[in-house]
């Protein structure tokens, strides 16, 4: 195993217990439980706050009637290894929504953080099988039928 791929290969395969199919409109994909990713990072690096941590910076951008919450997440592990920032984004406020008037999503900062953290961890190899689409094609269906997934 290449030293450069050691972390990636050790964290790239997901436990199917923490995967779920998501359908949004015409899109269908597999999603990973974010707490499973945090647990996997803890297994790889040590306890959160000790072996690894993440920093987040929130930004709010308004364009017209919409305010977006952006969470820029940086992962730090070991003595000085860091990766990021990687951004997650969610609609925070939509004024004058055509069907619902003013819509406020009070969970937008939390959701943006989860998006950024999940994506940043994926760049390090965590649950790479999910992000490479290995669970969303005909080969995944065949593996599931055989019991390999």
pTM for the predicted model, two decimal places: 0.82
Which tens digit of pLDDT belongs to each residue from 96-147?
A: 888 888 889 999 999 999 999 999 999 999 999 988 878 776 555 555 555 5
Residue in this structure with the two tokens 């039928």, named with its chain if needed: 145
The runs of H, that is alpha helices, within the chain are 6-11, 34-45, 108-123, 128-131, 138-146
Overall domain count for the chain: 1
Instruction: Supply the range of the domain harboring residue 112.
Output: 3-146
Q: What is the CATH number of the domain that holds 82?
A: 3.30.390.80
Q: What is the pLDDT, as a whole number, of residue 149?
A: 46
């Amino acid at each position: 195993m290449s030293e450069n791929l050691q972390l990636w290969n050790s964290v790239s395969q997901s436990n199917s217990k923490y995967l779920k199919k998501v359908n949004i409109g015409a899109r269908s994909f597999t999603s990973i439980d974010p707490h499973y990713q945090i647990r996997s990072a803890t297994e790889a690096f040590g306890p959160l706050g000790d072996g690894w941590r993440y920093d987040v910076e929130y930004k709010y951008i308004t364009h017209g009637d919409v305010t977006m919450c952006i969470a820029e997440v940086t992962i730090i592990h070991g003595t000085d290894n860091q990766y990021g920032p990687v951004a997650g984004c969610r609609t925070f406020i939509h004024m004058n929504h055509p069907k619902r008037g003013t819509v406020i999503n009070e969970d937008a900062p939390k959701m943006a953080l989860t998006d950024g953290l999940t994506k940043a961890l994926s760049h390090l190899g965590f649950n790479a099988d999910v992000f490479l689409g290995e669970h969303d094609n005909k080969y995944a269906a065949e593996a599931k039928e055989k019991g390999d997934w």
